[in-house]
Amino acid sequence: MQIWVDADACPGVIRDILFRAAERTGVLLTLVANQAVKIPPLRNVRSVQVQQGFDVADNAIIQGLVAGDLVITSDIPLAADAIAKGALALSPRGELLTEGNVRPRLNMRDFLDTLRASGVHTGGPPPLSQRDRQIFASHLDSILERWRKNISLANR
């Protein structure tokens, strides 16, 4: 398993949680962004800088991931594409996106885009809370624990 991070929109506090998890578990962590991203000096953490442009980072993530990987993103279309390839998707708020819940979220996103395009102010998400961070860390730990158990079973 590899963790792919849509780093352009990933809050710093979530990156820090991911860096600690990568250091603790040894899982490969790749941050993809269209700007330079500061990363700790760990062998299993890398940053990929892509060109500026619409969905360039998203496309790089989708091209690189394989089934069983984990994508960290708040971008619902990216999450839907990742799930379609057999990957897991987790938002920085700790929402585990699945085949069962990503389509309704994509529909809601499209609806809100239509409202915004017609001049309706829909507001944005609330600030990332301590609870959001805890939920994210808990889901991440669960995913990594399942990964470790699968590695242990495969090595027997």
pLDDT in tens, 34-66: 999 999 999 999 999 999 998 999 999 999 999
Look at residue 22 and tell me whether its pLDDT is greater than 80: yes
Instruction: Give the range of the structural domain holding residue 64, as residue numbers without chain letter.
Output: 2-154
Report the CATH number at residue 48.
Answer: 3.40.50
- Counting the structural domains of the chain, the total is 1
Which residues, at least 6 apart from 75, have a Cβ–Cβ distance to it below 8 Å?
6, 9, 58
Structure tokens at 140: 């991440």
Q: Please tell me the pTM assigned to this model.
A: 0.87
Look over the chain and give the mean of its residue pLDDT values, rounded to a whole number: 91
